[in-house]
Amino acid sequence: MTISLHPSTLPAVLSPVLTPFKADGSPDAQKLLKQCQWLEANGVGQAIFGTNSEANSMSDPQKMNTLIALIEGGLNPAHMMPGTGATSIDATVHMTKHAVQHKCAGVLMLPPFYYKDITDDGLFAYFSEVIQKVGDTGLQIYIYNIPPVTKINLSLSLLERLHKEYPKTVVGMKDSSGDWAYTESVIKLLAPSGFRVYAGSEVFLMRALRAGGVGCISATANVNPRAIAELAAHWRESDADQRQDVLDQVRSVFAHYQMIAGMKTAVAHYSKDAEWLRVRPPLMQLNADQQAKLLSELQKMNFSMPGL
């Protein structure tokens, strides 16, 4: 039986929320607030400034000012897990302190992803220095494992060492490795001591929950939030595998396109707001043919985004 030593206010499903951009390339905080409120109404928390948020295309002040605007707009920080990881310790500390001061329930922290062939000792030293410099007992770190992007593999021994050394601070992870055997091994090793493992895609949601994980932080929670949240809430019921199959079908449509541009195409279409199509270079919008094909595939599935 999993014993949770770190009660969390975060929901089982979070979305790395897509960021709407203004014509000058700056984040549109008011449009983002509306999107976050829609996700919240559909049972999904907000992992703002994640990969699908184009977080690394924004400056630290842009992200921190946007966080303030979201909270001042009424968004509940108890359901928020902003991404604060950066290659610089000082930048990570600065953004992490800001999130903690604004009562966010957790932060999603990338490893320092620029240097390659780094050791577990080096990674431990990085996270340890961040924790000590933030110096706040309210800090709850969820380590973000995404080796297809970072080219860094987080070993079980490193995770175990961090959690053992900082049991009240290093409290979980998002695993976007896409390697179920690895995800399962982390859950088996660390979930009994309260470590909260989120799968990085709803494709693994049922497997993660059955193994003792807590849910998923998934790109397509941006566009299909209610169905994913409802599976997380009802995963013990007899139709759970059928629900999982339907989620997988929706995911597979978006997986054939650059994911961020594809999801922004859907949001722009269903919200009737073409400004949502904007992405930051080096990403590019889907071309007109790709947009039409994606939307046609969704319509064949009777897909919708009610209330957007």
Active-site residues, by number, are 144, 174
In single-letter form, the type of residue at position 270 comes to Y
Query: What phi-psi label fits residue 117: left (phi over 0), alpha (psi between -120 and 50 degrees) or beta?
Result: left
Q: Computed from CA positions of residues 214, 190, 141, 120, in that sequence, does the dihedral angle turn out positive or negative?
A: negative
DSSP of 7-71: -----SEEE-PPPPB-TTS-B-HHHHHHHHHHHHHTT-EE--SSGGGTGGGS-HHHHHHHHHHHH
Q: How far apart are CA 46 and CA 57, in angstroms?
A: 18
Q: How far apart are CA 175 and CA 201, in angstroms?
A: 9
Contacts of residue 285, defined as CB under 8 A and 6 or more positions apart, other chains included, come to: 261, 264, 265, 277, 278, 279, 291
Strand 45-46 to strand 196-199: parallel, antiparallel, or no bridges (unpaired)? unpaired
Q: How far apart are CA 221 and CA 247, in angstroms?
A: 10
Q: Is position 143 annotated in a ligand binding site?
A: no
Instruction: Report which DSSP code applies to 212.
Output: T
Residues contributing to the annotated binding site for pyruvate: 217
